[in-house]
């Protein structure tokens, strides 16, 4: 490896090095503030050092990792979200008795896995990143051992992670049999299809199995069955992390695989023809409808947000199917908006939760506007953005996705998106209505007085949600730097 390779890898190296420091701190110092401070510092340094990676891009490191502008964008999203999750976790864990240093160690490892996944250029690093992310997450999900729901959620995620790995490895083996290559870039450029009929069948089936594996990670229909249980059982900051970082890293990889930067349309990998755009079209439509209709029946806020995330990934897939530069920019902008509004929502849930009880039912938010106008305002902004109402990031994100879909003449998906956006308003506004009722709920909220760090994170997230809805041009220009040909 050259010095330039080390500089390009520095963000990953920083996160890995800090994870070792946090583990040592957890073993000897046992101080929550030290572990949280080291974690936050590690993420900040890694985010700032992406500038070094930018200088030396595009660059391939050892045939295993590739660094281009879009990969740096994905890593930036992962690290920024990890900073906000760390700030939320600091406030959430202050009143908990469990070992807290190990929590931050696992959070660092999960983020490192997400970064590797986003930059993977070979099946080996693809699998390594996915496994590092998954193993860390199902431990974090079951972190609150005293809650039966947490242990159950951890086991369910473990089963899903095992199924994901099985499909992924089998799909990789078939693609290798068809192409003789382990490089993702060759698959993305459609060179995996062999000359023989058997090679073509291997390519189609192999890519189909990889799509199934990634479908489990994205929790889109029909791979969504345990998603609400996992969201409900996990600690609130971890749930926010799963909803954003875990899915965002996979979305970045999907774009690199099926919509390479500079391509004019959706790329059918391995010479597999037009089957895969139709598959993603069906998945997008079902995800929008199933996610929104199941959310209508729920009174549990975390489960509502789980079904909401299924629908939002369906919205995202509309731009993904459209392909082309505009679609990549639409996906990128929507990821930024989705990260901000989802992290803000789960940060409020974490702020109102106690060691004894998660603030997960709608009635737990009754009268929140009178108890904590600040938290009610943040939650209102994030909920309105998730519903896609004007002057919020969610509205602009959906509008850009509609533009990408219209450019590709995906009229059916556009109509489905508009209809489902209208349906979602009902269950979102149920939460807002509860917060502004005058009567007090029976749930005594904990942690309403936020420490400075958590309050600052909430303020920044709310500012992003509102600013992207009122004046999105700077973010669109910034995204253009990362997604241009």
Which residues fall within 8 angstroms of residue 326, CB to CB, at 6 or more apart? 403, 404, 407
pLDDT per position as a tens digit, 30-74: 788 888 899 999 999 999 999 888 888 888 888 889 888 899 999
From start to end of 20-139, where are the E strands? 59-61, 65-67
pLDDT score recorded for residue 255: 87
Q: Assess whether the previous peptide bond of 101 is cis (omega < 30° from 0).
A: no
Rounded to an integer, the average pLDDT of 307-321 is 91
Beta-bridged to residue 60, according to DSSP, are 66
Q: Which residues constitute the domain of residue 14?
A: 3-483
Asked whether residue 287 carries a pLDDT value surpassing 90, the answer given is yes
pLDDT of residue 447: 44
**Mutual angle of helices 411-435 and 373-387, in 10-degree steps:** 160
Query: What total of structural domains would you count in the chain?
Result: 1
In the predicted model, is pLDDT for residue 12 greater than 90? Answer: yes
Specify the pTM.
Answer: 0.92
pLDDT tens per residue, range 83-119: 999 999 988 887 666 667 889 999 999 999 999 999 9
Q: What percent of the chain has a predicted confidence (pLDDT) above 70?
A: 89
Task: Tell me the pLDDT tens digit for each residue of 403-444.
Answer: 988 888 889 999 999 999 899 999 999 999 989 887 554 444
Quick: pLDDT tens for 131-175.
999 999 988 998 876 666 778 888 899 998 899 999 999 998 988
pLDDT (0 to 100) of residue 248:
92
Average pLDDT over residues 302-316: 93
Question: Which whole-number Å values give the CA distances from 266 to 5, 220, 337, 415, in the listed order?
Answer: 31, 19, 23, 20
């Amino acid at each position: 490896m050259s010095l330039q390779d080390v500089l390009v890898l520095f963000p990953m190296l920083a996160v890995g090095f800090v994870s070792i420091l946090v583990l040592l701190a957890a073993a000897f110092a046992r101080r929550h503030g030290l572990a949280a401070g080291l974690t936050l510092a590690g993420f900040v340094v890694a985010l700032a050092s992406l500038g070094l990676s930018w200088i030396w891009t595009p660059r391939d490191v050892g045939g295993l990792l590739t660094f281009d502008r879009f990969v740096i964008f994905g890593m930036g999203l992962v690290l920024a979200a990890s900073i906000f999750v760390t700030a939320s976790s600091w406030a959430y864990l202050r009143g908990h008795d469990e070992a807290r240093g190990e929590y931050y160690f696992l959070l660092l490892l999960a983020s490192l896995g997400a970064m590797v996944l986003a930059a993977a250029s070979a099946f080996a690093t693809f699998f390594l990143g996915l496994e590092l992310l998954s193993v860390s997450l199902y431990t974090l999900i079951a972190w609150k051992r005293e809650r039966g729901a947490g242990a159950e959620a951890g086991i369910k995620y473990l089963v899903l992670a095992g199924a994901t790995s099985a499909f992924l490895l089998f799909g990789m083996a078939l693609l290798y049999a068809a192409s003789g290559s382990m490089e993702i870039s060759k698959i993305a450029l459609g060179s995996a299809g062999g000359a023989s009929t058997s090679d073509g069948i291997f390519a189609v089936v192999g890519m189909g199995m990889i799509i199934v594996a990634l479908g489990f990670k994205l929790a889109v229909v029909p791979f969504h069955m345990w998603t609400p249980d996992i969201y409900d059982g996990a600690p609130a900051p971890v749930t926010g992390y799963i909803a954003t970082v875990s899915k965002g890293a996979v979305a970045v990889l999907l774009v690199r695989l099926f919509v390479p930067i500079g391509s004019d349309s959706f790329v059918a990998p391995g010479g597999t023809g037009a089957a895969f755009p139709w598959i993603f079209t069906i998945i997008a439509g079902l995800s929008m409808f199933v996610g929104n209709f199941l959310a209508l029946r729920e009174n549990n806020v975390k489960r509502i947000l789980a079904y909401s995330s299924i629908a939002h990934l369906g919205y995202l897939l509309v731009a993904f199917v459209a392909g082309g530069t505009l679609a990549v920019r639409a996906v990128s902008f929507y990821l930024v908006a989705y990260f901000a509004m989802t992290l803000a929502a789960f940060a409020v849930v974490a702020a109102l939760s106690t060691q004894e009880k998660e603030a997960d039912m709608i009635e737990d938010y009754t009268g929140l506007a009178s108890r904590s106008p600040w938290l009610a305002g943040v939650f209102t902004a994030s909920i309105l953005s998730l519903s896609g109402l004007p002057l919020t990031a969610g509205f602009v994100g959906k509008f850009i996705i509609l533009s990408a879909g219209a450019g590709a003449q995906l009229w059916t998906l556009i109509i489905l998106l508009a209809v489902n956006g209208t349906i979602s308003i009902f269950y979102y506004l149920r939460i807002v209505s509860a917060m502004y009722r005058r009567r007090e709920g029976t749930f005594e909220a904990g942690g309403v007085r936020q420490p400075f760090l958590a309050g600052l994170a909430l303020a920044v997230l709310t500012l992003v949600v509102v600013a992207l809805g009122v004046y999105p041009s700077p973010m669109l220009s910034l995204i253009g730097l990362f997604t241009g040909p």
